Amino acid sequence: MKGDEFMQDPFADLFLEAHEQWDLEALAYDLAEIRERSLPPVELVYLRGLLCYCSPQTIAEACNVVPNTVAKRLSTGLYRYVEQLLQTKFQQAVAVNSWSDIPKLLSQVGYKRTHFAAEKGNQPVQPGSRESLIGKPGLVAFYGRETELATLTQWITKDKTKFVSIWGQGGMGKTTLVAKLVEAVEAQFNFIIWRSLRNAPSFQTFAYDLLSFIHGGSINDCPTATTDQISVLLDHFRQHPYLVVLDDIQTVLASKTAAGQYREGYEAYGELFRRLEEEPLRDQNLQEEAKSSCIIVTSWEQLREEGRFTGEGQSVRSFKLRGLGTAAEQILAEKKLEDRALWDNLIRPYGGNPWALKVIADYIDKTFAGSVAEFLDQNTLFLGDFAYLLHQQFARLSPPEKQVLTYLAKEDVPMTIAALAEIIPGPMRRSELMTILQSLSRRALVETSRDGKATHFSLQPTVMKYVTFHQK
Protein backbone atom coordinates (compact mmCIF):
# COMPACT_ATOMS: atom_id res chain seq x y z
CA MET A 1 0.00 0.00 0.00
CA LYS A 2 1.28 3.43 -0.85
CA GLY A 3 1.78 5.61 2.16
CA ASP A 4 3.26 2.84 4.32
CA GLU A 5 6.45 4.84 4.54
CA PHE A 6 4.65 7.25 6.84
CA MET A 7 3.65 4.55 9.37
CA GLN A 8 5.50 3.79 12.55
CA ASP A 9 4.70 0.57 14.45
CA PRO A 10 1.13 0.32 13.12
CA PHE A 11 0.36 -2.68 15.36
CA ALA A 12 1.33 -1.04 18.65
CA ASP A 13 -2.29 -0.65 19.75
CA LEU A 14 -3.47 -4.16 18.82
CA PHE A 15 -4.51 -6.71 21.44
CA LEU A 16 -3.64 -4.44 24.38
CA GLU A 17 -6.12 -6.27 26.62
CA ALA A 18 -3.48 -8.98 26.97
CA HIS A 19 -1.45 -6.64 29.18
CA GLU A 20 -4.28 -6.51 31.71
CA GLN A 21 -4.89 -10.24 31.92
CA TRP A 22 -1.36 -11.64 31.48
CA ASP A 23 2.09 -10.98 32.90
CA LEU A 24 3.50 -10.23 29.47
CA GLU A 25 6.74 -8.78 30.77
CA ALA A 26 7.65 -12.00 32.58
CA LEU A 27 6.47 -14.16 29.67
CA ALA A 28 8.45 -12.17 27.09
CA TYR A 29 11.54 -12.35 29.31
CA ASP A 30 11.25 -16.13 29.73
CA LEU A 31 10.73 -16.66 25.99
CA ALA A 32 13.76 -14.47 25.29
CA GLU A 33 15.78 -16.70 27.62
CA ILE A 34 14.62 -19.77 25.68
CA ARG A 35 15.54 -18.37 22.25
CA GLU A 36 18.57 -16.42 23.56
CA ARG A 37 17.30 -13.15 22.13
CA SER A 38 14.18 -11.03 22.39
CA LEU A 39 11.04 -11.86 20.47
CA PRO A 40 10.65 -9.77 17.29
CA PRO A 41 7.95 -7.07 17.61
CA VAL A 42 5.67 -8.85 15.14
CA GLU A 43 5.76 -12.06 17.20
CA LEU A 44 4.95 -10.08 20.34
CA VAL A 45 1.86 -8.79 18.52
CA TYR A 46 0.89 -12.34 17.51
CA LEU A 47 1.47 -13.52 21.09
CA ARG A 48 -0.81 -10.80 22.46
CA GLY A 49 -3.44 -11.83 19.94
CA LEU A 50 -3.29 -15.48 21.00
CA LEU A 51 -3.55 -14.49 24.66
CA CYS A 52 -6.71 -12.54 23.75
CA TYR A 53 -8.11 -15.84 22.40
CA CYS A 54 -7.83 -14.69 18.79
CA SER A 55 -7.27 -17.22 16.03
CA PRO A 56 -4.48 -16.76 13.45
CA GLN A 57 -7.20 -15.76 10.95
CA THR A 58 -8.43 -13.00 13.27
CA ILE A 59 -4.86 -11.85 13.99
CA ALA A 60 -4.14 -11.71 10.25
CA GLU A 61 -7.22 -9.57 9.63
CA ALA A 62 -6.29 -7.19 12.46
CA CYS A 63 -2.72 -6.86 11.12
CA ASN A 64 -3.88 -6.68 7.49
CA VAL A 65 -1.71 -9.58 6.33
CA VAL A 66 -2.61 -12.84 4.63
CA PRO A 67 -3.57 -15.60 7.10
CA ASN A 68 -0.87 -17.96 5.86
CA THR A 69 1.80 -15.43 6.91
CA VAL A 70 0.64 -15.54 10.53
CA ALA A 71 0.09 -19.32 10.57
CA LYS A 72 3.57 -20.02 9.18
CA ARG A 73 5.26 -17.61 11.60
CA LEU A 74 3.47 -19.20 14.55
CA SER A 75 4.10 -22.83 13.56
CA THR A 76 7.82 -22.35 12.89
CA GLY A 77 8.55 -19.85 15.64
CA LEU A 78 6.30 -18.92 18.55
CA TYR A 79 4.70 -22.34 19.05
CA ARG A 80 8.12 -23.98 19.25
CA TYR A 81 9.43 -21.41 21.77
CA VAL A 82 6.37 -21.90 23.96
CA GLU A 83 6.84 -25.69 23.81
CA GLN A 84 10.41 -25.32 25.03
CA LEU A 85 9.31 -22.96 27.80
CA LEU A 86 6.55 -25.32 28.93
CA GLN A 87 8.97 -28.24 28.92
CA THR A 88 11.08 -26.43 31.51
CA LYS A 89 7.95 -25.72 33.58
CA PHE A 90 6.32 -29.18 33.39
CA GLN A 91 9.57 -31.11 33.28
CA GLN A 92 8.25 -33.12 30.34
CA ALA A 93 7.61 -32.65 26.63
CA VAL A 94 4.54 -30.54 25.80
CA ALA A 95 3.08 -30.19 22.31
CA VAL A 96 1.26 -27.11 21.01
CA ASN A 97 -1.18 -28.53 18.47
CA SER A 98 -3.49 -25.54 18.07
CA TRP A 99 -3.47 -21.80 18.65
CA SER A 100 -6.03 -22.29 21.44
CA ASP A 101 -3.45 -24.36 23.37
CA ILE A 102 -1.32 -21.27 23.96
CA PRO A 103 -3.53 -19.38 26.47
CA LYS A 104 -4.68 -22.62 28.11
CA LEU A 105 -1.17 -23.96 28.73
CA LEU A 106 0.39 -20.62 29.70
CA SER A 107 -2.43 -20.08 32.20
CA GLN A 108 -1.57 -23.40 33.84
CA VAL A 109 2.00 -22.27 34.55
CA GLY A 110 1.05 -18.98 36.15
CA TYR A 111 1.40 -16.30 33.47
CA LYS A 112 -2.25 -15.27 33.67
CA ARG A 113 -2.95 -12.61 36.26
CA THR A 114 -5.55 -12.99 39.00
CA HIS A 115 -9.00 -12.19 37.59
CA PHE A 116 -9.53 -8.46 37.38
CA ALA A 117 -12.89 -8.62 39.18
CA ALA A 118 -12.67 -7.08 42.62
CA GLU A 119 -14.72 -9.72 44.39
CA LYS A 120 -14.70 -13.51 44.18
CA GLY A 121 -17.59 -15.85 44.77
CA ASN A 122 -20.37 -17.68 42.97
CA GLN A 123 -23.35 -15.55 43.97
CA PRO A 124 -24.57 -12.69 41.78
CA VAL A 125 -23.32 -9.32 42.91
CA GLN A 126 -25.66 -7.09 44.86
CA PRO A 127 -26.40 -3.45 43.97
CA GLY A 128 -23.45 -1.18 44.62
CA SER A 129 -20.66 0.63 42.86
CA ARG A 130 -18.88 -1.87 40.62
CA GLU A 131 -16.83 -1.28 37.48
CA SER A 132 -15.01 -3.48 35.00
CA LEU A 133 -13.38 -1.31 32.37
CA ILE A 134 -11.39 -3.54 30.03
CA GLY A 135 -10.12 -1.53 27.07
CA LYS A 136 -11.43 1.84 28.27
CA PRO A 137 -8.94 4.58 27.34
CA GLY A 138 -7.27 6.65 30.01
CA LEU A 139 -7.43 10.41 30.22
CA VAL A 140 -7.06 11.87 26.72
CA ALA A 141 -7.57 15.31 25.21
CA PHE A 142 -11.23 16.11 24.57
CA TYR A 143 -12.07 18.72 21.94
CA GLY A 144 -15.48 20.39 21.81
CA ARG A 145 -18.37 17.96 21.37
CA GLU A 146 -20.49 19.83 23.96
CA THR A 147 -23.60 19.54 21.79
CA GLU A 148 -23.06 15.85 21.07
CA LEU A 149 -22.37 15.12 24.73
CA ALA A 150 -25.50 17.00 25.84
CA THR A 151 -27.68 15.11 23.34
CA LEU A 152 -26.38 11.69 24.35
CA THR A 153 -26.67 12.52 28.04
CA GLN A 154 -30.29 13.57 27.50
CA TRP A 155 -31.07 10.31 25.71
CA ILE A 156 -29.67 8.19 28.53
CA THR A 157 -30.64 10.09 31.68
CA LYS A 158 -33.97 11.68 30.69
CA ASP A 159 -35.32 9.62 27.79
CA LYS A 160 -34.25 6.27 29.30
CA THR A 161 -32.79 5.11 25.99
CA LYS A 162 -31.75 1.48 26.38
CA PHE A 163 -29.56 1.05 23.28
CA VAL A 164 -27.36 3.75 21.72
CA SER A 165 -25.27 3.18 18.60
CA ILE A 166 -22.55 5.75 17.92
CA TRP A 167 -21.01 5.27 14.50
CA GLY A 168 -18.91 7.11 11.96
CA GLN A 169 -15.64 7.22 10.09
CA GLY A 170 -12.55 6.00 11.90
CA GLY A 171 -10.64 8.70 13.76
CA MET A 172 -13.70 10.83 14.58
CA GLY A 173 -13.28 10.28 18.31
CA LYS A 174 -16.16 7.91 19.08
CA THR A 175 -14.31 6.11 21.85
CA THR A 176 -13.15 9.36 23.45
CA LEU A 177 -16.68 10.78 23.33
CA VAL A 178 -18.16 7.68 24.97
CA ALA A 179 -15.48 7.73 27.68
CA LYS A 180 -16.54 11.30 28.46
CA LEU A 181 -20.21 10.28 28.28
CA VAL A 182 -19.66 7.52 30.84
CA GLU A 183 -18.30 10.11 33.27
CA ALA A 184 -21.41 12.23 32.74
CA VAL A 185 -23.99 9.48 33.31
CA GLU A 186 -22.30 6.94 35.58
CA ALA A 187 -24.27 8.06 38.64
CA GLN A 188 -27.40 6.65 36.99
CA PHE A 189 -26.07 3.09 37.11
CA ASN A 190 -25.00 0.58 39.74
CA PHE A 191 -22.68 -1.34 37.47
CA ILE A 192 -20.48 -0.16 34.60
CA ILE A 193 -18.87 -2.53 32.09
CA TRP A 194 -16.59 -1.44 29.25
CA ARG A 195 -15.36 -3.97 26.72
CA SER A 196 -13.32 -3.37 23.60
CA LEU A 197 -14.20 -5.78 20.79
CA ARG A 198 -11.16 -4.73 18.76
CA ASN A 199 -9.82 -8.27 18.89
CA ALA A 200 -13.17 -9.81 17.87
CA PRO A 201 -13.72 -12.25 20.74
CA SER A 202 -16.13 -15.07 20.03
CA PHE A 203 -19.58 -14.51 21.48
CA GLN A 204 -19.06 -17.39 23.88
CA THR A 205 -15.87 -15.78 25.22
CA PHE A 206 -17.58 -12.41 25.45
CA ALA A 207 -20.68 -13.75 27.23
CA TYR A 208 -18.65 -15.80 29.69
CA ASP A 209 -16.52 -12.75 30.46
CA LEU A 210 -19.55 -10.58 31.27
CA LEU A 211 -21.31 -13.29 33.27
CA SER A 212 -18.13 -14.00 35.19
CA PHE A 213 -17.94 -10.33 36.22
CA ILE A 214 -21.62 -10.26 37.12
CA HIS A 215 -21.15 -13.34 39.31
CA GLY A 216 -18.23 -11.83 41.18
CA GLY A 217 -15.31 -13.40 39.34
CA SER A 218 -16.33 -16.98 38.57
CA ILE A 219 -19.31 -18.88 37.24
CA ASN A 220 -19.93 -22.58 37.45
CA ASP A 221 -23.14 -22.93 35.48
CA CYS A 222 -22.73 -20.70 32.42
CA PRO A 223 -25.23 -21.74 29.73
CA THR A 224 -23.67 -23.27 26.65
CA ALA A 225 -26.33 -22.21 24.14
CA THR A 226 -25.93 -18.64 22.91
CA THR A 227 -29.69 -18.02 23.12
CA ASP A 228 -29.59 -18.95 26.80
CA GLN A 229 -26.49 -16.82 27.40
CA ILE A 230 -28.26 -13.81 25.92
CA SER A 231 -31.35 -14.48 28.04
CA VAL A 232 -29.29 -14.64 31.23
CA LEU A 233 -27.47 -11.41 30.38
CA LEU A 234 -30.73 -9.58 29.65
CA ASP A 235 -32.24 -10.86 32.89
CA HIS A 236 -29.34 -9.34 34.83
CA PHE A 237 -29.70 -6.06 32.94
CA ARG A 238 -33.37 -5.96 33.95
CA GLN A 239 -32.70 -6.71 37.61
CA HIS A 240 -30.11 -3.97 38.15
CA PRO A 241 -29.14 -0.83 36.19
CA TYR A 242 -26.06 -1.64 34.10
CA LEU A 243 -24.21 0.68 31.75
CA VAL A 244 -22.44 -1.50 29.17
CA VAL A 245 -20.11 -0.08 26.51
CA LEU A 246 -19.07 -2.28 23.57
CA ASP A 247 -16.36 -0.45 21.66
CA ASP A 248 -15.31 -1.16 18.05
CA ILE A 249 -18.05 -3.64 17.18
CA GLN A 250 -17.18 -3.38 13.48
CA THR A 251 -14.70 -6.20 14.13
CA VAL A 252 -17.57 -8.70 14.39
CA LEU A 253 -19.12 -7.46 11.15
CA ALA A 254 -18.32 -9.08 7.82
CA SER A 255 -15.96 -7.68 5.19
CA LYS A 256 -16.27 -7.87 1.39
CA THR A 257 -20.06 -7.70 1.55
CA ALA A 258 -22.79 -5.15 2.24
CA ALA A 259 -22.31 -3.20 5.46
CA GLY A 260 -23.90 -4.42 8.67
CA GLN A 261 -23.77 -8.19 8.11
CA TYR A 262 -22.07 -10.38 10.69
CA ARG A 263 -18.99 -12.50 10.22
CA GLU A 264 -19.48 -16.24 10.07
CA GLY A 265 -19.55 -17.52 13.63
CA TYR A 266 -20.40 -14.09 15.07
CA GLU A 267 -24.11 -14.03 14.31
CA ALA A 268 -24.92 -14.27 18.04
CA TYR A 269 -23.86 -10.63 18.43
CA GLY A 270 -26.61 -9.71 15.98
CA GLU A 271 -29.08 -11.77 17.98
CA LEU A 272 -28.02 -9.93 21.15
CA PHE A 273 -28.49 -6.52 19.50
CA ARG A 274 -31.85 -7.55 18.03
CA ARG A 275 -33.14 -8.69 21.41
CA LEU A 276 -31.77 -5.58 23.09
CA GLU A 277 -33.85 -3.56 20.69
CA GLU A 278 -37.01 -5.66 20.94
CA GLU A 279 -37.11 -6.58 24.63
CA PRO A 280 -37.40 -4.23 27.64
CA LEU A 281 -34.30 -3.59 29.74
CA ARG A 282 -36.16 -2.62 32.88
CA ASP A 283 -38.58 -4.46 35.10
CA GLN A 284 -42.05 -3.52 33.87
CA ASN A 285 -43.32 -3.59 37.46
CA LEU A 286 -41.00 -0.76 38.51
CA GLN A 287 -42.13 2.82 38.67
CA GLU A 288 -41.49 5.03 35.64
CA GLU A 289 -38.69 6.99 37.36
CA ALA A 290 -36.75 3.83 38.26
CA LYS A 291 -33.29 3.44 36.81
CA SER A 292 -32.81 1.15 33.83
CA SER A 293 -29.89 -0.39 31.97
CA CYS A 294 -28.32 1.05 28.83
CA ILE A 295 -25.99 -0.49 26.24
CA ILE A 296 -23.77 1.77 24.12
CA VAL A 297 -21.94 0.50 21.05
CA THR A 298 -19.40 2.23 18.80
CA SER A 299 -18.62 1.22 15.25
CA TRP A 300 -17.20 2.37 11.94
CA GLU A 301 -20.45 1.13 10.42
CA GLN A 302 -24.12 1.60 11.19
CA LEU A 303 -25.85 -1.58 12.33
CA ARG A 304 -28.53 -2.89 10.00
CA GLU A 305 -30.81 -3.57 12.99
CA GLU A 306 -31.01 0.11 13.85
CA GLY A 307 -33.38 1.13 11.07
CA ARG A 308 -36.40 -0.73 12.46
CA PHE A 309 -36.38 0.82 15.92
CA THR A 310 -34.49 4.11 15.95
CA GLY A 311 -36.02 7.58 15.98
CA GLU A 312 -37.61 10.20 18.17
CA GLY A 313 -39.51 8.71 21.07
CA GLN A 314 -37.83 5.32 20.61
CA SER A 315 -35.74 3.56 23.25
CA VAL A 316 -33.14 2.73 20.58
CA ARG A 317 -31.14 5.61 19.11
CA SER A 318 -28.53 5.94 16.38
CA PHE A 319 -25.97 8.76 16.40
CA LYS A 320 -23.61 9.44 13.50
CA LEU A 321 -20.53 11.26 14.79
CA ARG A 322 -19.26 13.83 12.31
CA GLY A 323 -16.14 15.99 12.25
CA LEU A 324 -15.24 18.76 14.66
CA GLY A 325 -16.20 22.32 13.89
CA THR A 326 -14.25 25.26 15.28
CA ALA A 327 -13.15 23.05 18.19
CA ALA A 328 -10.68 21.47 15.76
CA GLU A 329 -8.60 24.63 16.12
CA GLN A 330 -7.59 23.38 19.59
CA ILE A 331 -5.64 20.56 17.92
CA LEU A 332 -3.68 23.04 15.80
CA ALA A 333 -3.18 25.37 18.74
CA GLU A 334 -1.66 22.58 20.82
CA LYS A 335 1.06 22.24 18.17
CA LYS A 336 1.42 26.05 18.11
CA LEU A 337 0.95 26.14 14.36
CA GLU A 338 1.29 29.49 12.61
CA ASP A 339 -1.01 31.37 10.19
CA ARG A 340 -4.21 31.13 12.23
CA ALA A 341 -6.16 32.87 9.45
CA LEU A 342 -5.51 29.83 7.25
CA TRP A 343 -6.52 27.19 9.78
CA ASP A 344 -10.01 26.74 8.35
CA ASN A 345 -8.45 25.96 4.96
CA LEU A 346 -6.62 23.13 6.71
CA ILE A 347 -9.54 21.81 8.77
CA ARG A 348 -12.20 21.64 6.02
CA PRO A 349 -10.42 19.26 3.60
CA TYR A 350 -9.91 16.76 6.41
CA GLY A 351 -13.57 16.94 7.39
CA GLY A 352 -12.71 17.99 10.93
CA ASN A 353 -11.49 14.44 11.64
CA PRO A 354 -9.56 14.76 14.94
CA TRP A 355 -7.11 11.97 14.27
CA ALA A 356 -6.36 13.13 10.73
CA LEU A 357 -5.76 16.67 12.00
CA LYS A 358 -3.43 15.41 14.72
CA VAL A 359 -1.42 13.52 12.10
CA ILE A 360 -1.26 16.57 9.81
CA ALA A 361 -0.53 19.05 12.62
CA ASP A 362 2.37 16.90 13.79
CA TYR A 363 3.70 16.69 10.22
CA ILE A 364 3.46 20.47 9.73
CA ASP A 365 5.20 21.07 13.03
CA LYS A 366 8.12 18.77 12.22
CA THR A 367 8.45 19.37 8.47
CA PHE A 368 7.46 23.02 7.97
CA ALA A 369 8.34 24.40 11.41
CA GLY A 370 4.65 24.98 12.09
CA SER A 371 3.93 26.99 8.94
CA VAL A 372 0.42 26.21 7.72
CA ALA A 373 0.93 28.54 4.76
CA GLU A 374 3.95 26.62 3.52
CA PHE A 375 2.09 23.32 3.91
CA LEU A 376 -0.91 24.61 1.94
CA ASP A 377 1.44 25.97 -0.74
CA GLN A 378 2.28 22.35 -1.60
CA ASN A 379 -1.22 22.22 -3.13
CA THR A 380 -1.85 18.60 -2.18
CA LEU A 381 -4.01 16.77 0.32
CA PHE A 382 -1.41 14.92 2.40
CA LEU A 383 -2.71 11.84 4.25
CA GLY A 384 0.37 10.56 6.05
CA ASP A 385 -0.42 7.98 8.74
CA PHE A 386 -4.13 8.65 8.26
CA ALA A 387 -3.87 6.60 5.05
CA TYR A 388 -3.40 3.48 7.18
CA LEU A 389 -6.75 3.99 8.93
CA LEU A 390 -8.45 4.56 5.57
CA HIS A 391 -6.79 1.41 4.27
CA GLN A 392 -8.33 -0.60 7.12
CA GLN A 393 -11.77 0.72 6.24
CA PHE A 394 -11.37 0.18 2.50
CA ALA A 395 -10.16 -3.38 3.08
CA ARG A 396 -13.68 -4.15 4.31
CA LEU A 397 -15.38 -3.11 1.06
CA SER A 398 -16.92 -5.39 -1.53
CA PRO A 399 -15.71 -5.11 -5.17
CA PRO A 400 -18.95 -3.34 -6.28
CA GLU A 401 -18.53 -0.80 -3.47
CA LYS A 402 -14.97 -0.08 -4.59
CA GLN A 403 -16.17 0.30 -8.18
CA VAL A 404 -18.80 2.89 -7.23
CA LEU A 405 -16.29 4.84 -5.13
CA THR A 406 -13.84 4.82 -8.02
CA TYR A 407 -16.38 6.44 -10.37
CA LEU A 408 -17.47 8.98 -7.76
CA ALA A 409 -13.81 9.97 -7.32
CA LYS A 410 -13.18 10.05 -11.07
CA GLU A 411 -16.07 12.46 -11.72
CA ASP A 412 -15.14 14.64 -8.70
CA VAL A 413 -18.62 16.20 -8.47
CA PRO A 414 -21.77 15.24 -6.52
CA MET A 415 -23.79 12.79 -8.61
CA THR A 416 -27.35 11.49 -8.67
CA ILE A 417 -28.15 7.80 -8.85
CA ALA A 418 -29.25 8.24 -12.46
CA ALA A 419 -25.99 9.96 -13.44
CA LEU A 420 -23.91 7.26 -11.74
CA ALA A 421 -25.87 4.51 -13.46
CA GLU A 422 -25.02 6.01 -16.85
CA ILE A 423 -21.24 6.00 -16.40
CA ILE A 424 -20.68 2.72 -14.55
CA PRO A 425 -20.00 0.01 -17.14
CA GLY A 426 -21.50 -3.44 -17.01
CA PRO A 427 -24.92 -4.74 -16.11
CA MET A 428 -25.54 -2.98 -12.77
CA ARG A 429 -29.24 -2.62 -12.07
CA ARG A 430 -30.53 0.61 -10.54
CA SER A 431 -31.69 -1.29 -7.45
CA GLU A 432 -28.22 -2.82 -7.05
CA LEU A 433 -26.62 0.64 -7.25
CA MET A 434 -29.04 1.93 -4.61
CA THR A 435 -28.09 -0.97 -2.31
CA ILE A 436 -24.39 -0.25 -2.79
CA LEU A 437 -24.84 3.44 -2.02
CA GLN A 438 -26.84 2.56 1.09
CA SER A 439 -24.00 0.29 2.23
CA LEU A 440 -21.39 3.00 1.61
CA SER A 441 -23.53 5.47 3.56
CA ARG A 442 -23.67 3.03 6.46
CA ARG A 443 -19.87 2.92 6.34
CA ALA A 444 -19.73 6.75 6.44
CA LEU A 445 -17.74 6.78 3.19
CA VAL A 446 -20.20 8.75 1.03
CA GLU A 447 -22.00 12.01 1.75
CA THR A 448 -25.49 12.92 0.57
CA SER A 449 -26.86 16.37 -0.25
CA ARG A 450 -30.04 17.79 -1.79
CA ASP A 451 -30.01 20.04 -4.83
CA GLY A 452 -33.56 21.01 -5.65
CA LYS A 453 -35.52 17.79 -5.84
CA ALA A 454 -32.58 15.43 -6.39
CA THR A 455 -30.27 13.64 -3.93
CA HIS A 456 -26.58 13.77 -4.82
CA PHE A 457 -23.77 11.51 -3.60
CA SER A 458 -20.18 12.65 -3.12
CA LEU A 459 -16.93 11.84 -1.32
CA GLN A 460 -15.07 13.72 1.38
CA PRO A 461 -11.71 15.04 0.11
CA THR A 462 -9.69 12.53 2.17
CA VAL A 463 -11.73 9.61 0.85
CA MET A 464 -11.43 10.91 -2.71
CA LYS A 465 -7.67 11.27 -2.34
CA TYR A 466 -7.33 7.74 -1.01
CA VAL A 467 -9.52 6.24 -3.73
CA THR A 468 -7.68 8.12 -6.47
CA PHE A 469 -4.14 7.17 -5.42
CA HIS A 470 -4.49 3.91 -3.50
CA GLN A 471 -7.22 1.96 -5.28
CA LYS A 472 -5.72 1.74 -8.76
* pLDDT value, residue 451: 83
The residue among 152, 51, 54, 60 whose CA lies nearest residue 106 is: 51
Residues 45 and 184 occupy one common structural domain: no
Q: Kindly give the interhelix angle for 41-51 and 56-63, rounded to the nearest 10 degrees.
A: 130
408 lies in the same domain as 459: yes
Claim to verify: residue 260 and residue 223 sit in the same structural domain: yes
Tens digits of residue pLDDT in 369-405:
999 999 999 988 888 888 888 888 888 999 999 999 9
Q: Is the pLDDT of residue 298 over 80?
A: yes
Last residue of some domain: 269, 288, 320? 320
In Å, what is the CA distance from 108 to each residue of 104, 105, 112, 113? 7, 5, 8, 11
Report the Cα 287 to chain-centroid distance in Å: 36
**Whether residue 36 is found in the same domain as residue 86:** yes
Last residue of a domain, one of 108, 140, 169: 108
Question: How does residue 205 score in pLDDT terms, banded at 50, 70 and 90?
Answer: confident
* 170 CB-near residues (< 8 Å, 6+ apart): 300, 355, 389, 390, 392, 393
Euclidean distance between CA atoms 376 and 237, whole angstroms: 52
pLDDT band of residue 99 (cuts 50, 70, 90) is confident
Same-domain check for residues 249 and 314: yes
CB atoms within 10 A of CB 67: 14
Residue 307 is predicted with a pLDDT of 62
Higher-confidence position of 92 and 468: 468
Confidence class for position 286, pLDDT limits 50, 70, 90: low
138 and 275 co-located in one domain: yes
pLDDT at 220 over 90: no
Return the closest-CA partner of residue 191 out of 171, 208, 216: 216
Q: Is residue 387 part of a domain?
A: no
pLDDT band (50, 70, 90) for residue 119: very low
C-beta of residue 444 within 8 angstroms of C-beta of residue 169: yes
pLDDT of residue 288: 52
Q: Is 275 helix (H, G, I), strand (E, B) or coil?
A: helix
Instruction: Assess whether pLDDT exceeds 60 at residue 219.
Output: yes
Among residues 298, 320, 342, which one ends one of the domains? 320
- Share above pLDDT 90 across residues of the chain, in percent, rounded to a whole number: 39
Would residue 49 count as lying in a domain? yes
Query: What is the pLDDT at residue 122?
Result: 33
245-255: average pLDDT: 92
For residues 116 and 336, the model is more confident at: 336
Q: How confident is the model at residue 312 (pLDDT cuts 50, 70, 90)?
A: low
Residue 465: give the domain boundaries: 393-470
- pLDDT computed for residue 285 by the predictor: 54
Q: Residue 117 domain-assigned?
A: no
Confidence of residue 218 (pLDDT cuts 50, 70, 90): low
The per-residue pLDDT for 60 is 85
222 domain residue, yes or no: yes
Q: Do 270 and 155 share a structural domain?
A: yes
Q: What Å distances lie between residue 119 and 113, 213, 288, 369, CA to CA?
A: 15, 9, 32, 53
Q: Is the pLDDT of residue 2 over 80?
A: no
Banded pLDDT at 289 (limits 50, 70, 90): low
Give the pLDDT confidence of 46-83 residue by residue, as tens digits: 998 898 888 888 888 888 888 888 888 898 889 999 98
Same domain, 136 and 274: yes
Angle CA(83)–CA(74)–CA(102) in degrees, nearest 5?
50
Assigned domain for 331 exists: yes
Total length of the chain = 472
Whether the predicted pLDDT of 443 surpasses 90: yes
The domain total for the chain is 4
User: How far is Cα of residue 137 from the mean position of the Cα atoms in its chain?
Assistant: 12
Residue 292 has pLDDT above 70, yes or no: yes
Q: Roughly what angle, to the nearest 10 degrees, separates helices 399-411 and 430-442?
A: 90
CATH of the domain at 149: 3.40.50.300
Same domain assignment for residues 36 and 60: yes
Whether residue 76 lies inside any domain: the answer is yes
Is residue 19 a part of any domain in this protein?
yes
Does 119 fall in a domain?
no
Q: Domain check: are 308 and 344 in the same one?
A: no
Q: Residue 199: pLDDT above 70?
A: yes
Together in a domain, 350 and 409: no
Task: Give 395-464 as a 3 state SS string.
Answer: CCCCHHHHHHHHHHHHHCCCECHHHHHHHCCCCCCHHHHHHHHHHHHHCCCCEEEEECCEEEEECCHHHH
Average pLDDT over residues 83-89: 83
**275 and 163: one domain?**
yes
